[in-house]
Every structure is written in structure tokens, then in C-alpha cells.
Amino acid sequence: MDIFLIYGGKSAEHDISIISAFYILKEIFYDNYQVNLVYISREGVWLEGPTITDPDQVQKDSDLRLGDFATRFDFAKLQEEEAIAFPVLHGPNGEDGTVQGLFEVLNVPYVGCGVLASSTGMDKIISKALFEQAGIPQLPYQAILYNNWVYDPEEVVRDIESHLSYPIFVKPANMGSSVGISQVHDQAELKAGINLAFEYDHRIVVEEGVTAREIEMSILGNEDVHTSVPGELVKDAQFYDYAAKYENNTVQLDIPAKLDSEVVSQLKVYATKAFLAIDGSGLTRADFFVTEDKKIYINEVNTFPGFTTISMYPKLWEATGLSYKDLIEELIQLGLKRHRMKQAKQLKDR
């Protein structure tokens, strides 16, 4: 079977996507597959790379960058009978339902969440509404539109300060990996944080902060949902920003997190509810806050989390008993299974 490994992309998470793709490429079962590299440039151009039949063909993640990729990708190749798309794309134009919609139109099986789960999971405003409906506790928040901010920024600030207490986190509605996110402690920082977030999206979320541990759960499955052991982000600073994640590597992962059994059980329930609320399939990571008095709040979900050497999602499954290599194979099989079920339903409906 041909795997089309698609990575790069137009989002601010372009470089993270390349690193994730590199580690996935090294762990595929090459007895069963050959991998066709498809690199999406920062300008959105799809370029065809070499076919990989042995992981040693690629020695470092820089080999996956533009390099000699000069041929425009022929989308008809995705429609070969024995083929599956594996989009390793983070952020807008990859994790938000857009590329998933392309695969649906082309009738191509693909790894990961579908259109609805990808778009709602990526959008912090919509996902928060779904979590509220599912009965999952959240911290107080407000959604801010760019037009409102431009029209009367002082009124927006007054409204935020009347409903939320500092520290406040300001986030673009559609972005990941802490891109464009600020932790603010006063009005001046709030205004600066809002302006920064609007550089990445025309809709943003402002959310009240909380003193809590940051716990993450990995989710795997289609109709049959499985959750991993929990993991904790242990860091020196309260705010886990982009530099801490990918440049300075100052954040430690405590796996499994040291939590009471009843807290772990509740986290599994909430993670499963979140996955079902967005109509998840394949994989998702659910992020939570757990306070000292054992209150749990969902932060967000990530429908295609990082797969780098420091990424929580594969590490949690490894601690649960599923190796990185077997995890990749399971994701491929889940994508194929979902496609077959959809095809069978379409034939029945005709």
C-alpha cells in the first residue's frame, strides 16, 4: 500500500509538522508500505518528493524540506486503489478540516479526524460551546471578534475586566502549539495580547487563568474510544509558550502523572466525552487543568498533536503499552476502517 505522507503547510506550525513527519517516517512498517513524500511549501504549493521504501533513506528532518522537491504533486495519485493519505499537518489549512475536506471530495482514505472533528476541535470558540453542552467543566471565558475590537477596544477591555480576573490568557481561536498566545496580568498587557492574537485570527478567546497542574490525555479509536494514562507538563514558568515547547525544551513530561485514582477516572470520562462531542475519530489529545482541590477543567483538544521526540501524545501511549511503531500502524488501520464503513453506507443509501 502507498502512504502519502503530507507535511509542511502554510501555518505557523510548518516547522513542527516537518519534525513530526520525520519521526513518523522512521517508524512505519516498510514490509507493508512504501511512503510517498508530499511537501506543502509555506506558500501552499504541493510538491512531490521521493518514494521511501527504507527509513534509512532519510537521515535527518532537514532532508524533508524543500530541497530537490521541484515537481508539482499530481492529486490523481491519491486516488490509486491501494493508497491512504497521512496528513501530518498542524494548525490552519491542515488540522482545521480543510485538507480533510479535500480527501473527502477525492474519496481518499486518510489518517486522523474527519472534517467536522478537525474544524470544531481546532476552533476554540466552537469547541468550548460543545464541551459546555457535553457537561465538561471549563474556566470562565469570552469570545472576541476583530470588528468589535477595532470599533471600540476600550469597551472590549472593560467588558473583559468586568467578567474575568487576572491573570488572563489570550488565544487566537484557530491556532496551536501556543502560537499567538499570551498570559497577561494587567490592562496594558491585555491590549498587547489581544493585538498579538489578532495577528493570527479574526476571532480570539480570552480565558481566566487558574493555579493548576496541566494534565494531558491521549485518545485513540473510532467508535471504540480508548484513553491513555495521563501525563503532566512540569515547567519552571507558569506559561508554556512556543519557545518552551520547541526551542528551549525547558518543559519536562511526567508520565504517568501522579494523580489520585478517582481523578484519573474522571479525566478518562471527560476525555472520552470531549472526543465524542467533536465527533472525533483516529486520534485526539485532550488537555486539562487539575487544581489542588481536585477540580478538573478542560482546556482544549488537539486533533493532530505533535509526533516529535518530546511530544506527549505518543509518549502517553508508550507508557500505556502501545509502542510508537504500533501506534502509527493503528492510526493507519483506523483511517482505512472509517473509509470502508463510509463507503459501505454510501452504497447502502443508493
Query: What CATH number did the domain enclosing 195 receive?
Result: 3.30.1490.20
- Residue 117 inside a domain? The answer is no
Could you give the number of structural domains in the chain? 3
Predicted local distance difference test score (pLDDT) of residue 293: 95
Domain endpoint, select from 188, 208, 228: 208
Q: Is 245 annotated as a binding residue?
A: no
- Residue 125 inside a domain? The answer is no
- Residue 153 inside a domain? The answer is yes
- Residue 176 inside a domain? The answer is yes
Buried b (16+ CB within 10 A) or exposed e, 243-273: ebbbeeeebebebebebeeebbebbbebbbb
Question: What's phi and psi for 160, nearest 5 deg?
Answer: -65, -50
- Cα angle vertex 335, ends 329, 341, to 5°? 135
Known active-site residue 13: yes
Known active-site residue 311: yes
Q: Is 241 annotated as a binding residue?
A: no
Residues 77 and 18 in one domain: yes
Catalytic residue among 13, 95, 216, 232: 13
Rounded Cα–Cα distance for residues 271 and 283 (Å): 12
Q: Is 325 annotated as a binding residue?
A: no
Catalytic residue among 11, 118, 177, 182: 177
Catalytic residue among 118, 119, 218, 311: 311
Predicted local distance difference test score (pLDDT) of residue 141: 96
Residues 294 and 185 in one domain: no
CA distances in angstroms from 102 to 141, 196, 278, listed in the order given: 33, 31, 19
User: Which range marks the domain in which residue 257 is found?
Assistant: 211-340
Q: Is 299 annotated as a binding residue?
A: yes
pTM for this prediction? 0.90
Rounded Cα–Cα distance for residues 294 and 289 (Å): 9
Residues 334 and 257 in one domain: yes
Known active-site residue 177: yes
- Residue 335 inside a domain? The answer is yes
Q: Going by DSSP bridges, is the β-strand pair 2-8/34-40 parallel, antiparallel, or unpaired? A: parallel
- Residue 27 inside a domain? The answer is yes
- Residue 26 inside a domain? The answer is yes
Q: Which residues contact 136 (CB under 8 A, 6 or more apart)?
A: 270, 273, 274, 277, 298
Predicted local distance difference test score (pLDDT) of residue 242: 54
Q: Is 211 annotated as a binding residue?
A: yes
Residues 29 and 101 in one domain: yes
Residues of the chain with pLDDT under 50: none
Question: What's phi and psi for 266, nearest 5 deg?
Answer: -70, -35
